[in-house]
Amino acid sequence: MKAWLVVGMLIIVGLIWWYEWSRLEREYKKEKAAVAILLCLAMLLGVILMVNPDLPGPTQAVDRLFRPFGKMLEK
């Protein structure tokens, strides 16, 4: 079941890539690289969250990181 979700996500990302890539001109190499990198990162994050949906969110990670500093400031 999850494999079909990944395949569907690949198709959607491919369509987004095709649409954005065709709109950018040949001179815009940095912009094309940025589009490719961001789409790859989004795809990677999407697959990771499909495989393991119980991962903590970014707000929980920030809370864990800064909780000791908050305790130091309260004292």
3-state secondary structure of 26: coil
d(Cα 67, Cα 75) in Å, to the nearest integer? Answer: 13
Helix (H) or strand (E) holding 53: none
Determine the pLDDT at residue 40: 93
Determine the pLDDT at residue 39: 93
Q: What is the pLDDT of residues 9-65, one digit of tens each?
A: 999 999 999 998 888 888 888 998 999 999 999 999 888 888 888 888 888 888 988
Q: Name the residue with tokens 């119980």.
A: 54
Determine the pLDDT at residue 5: 87
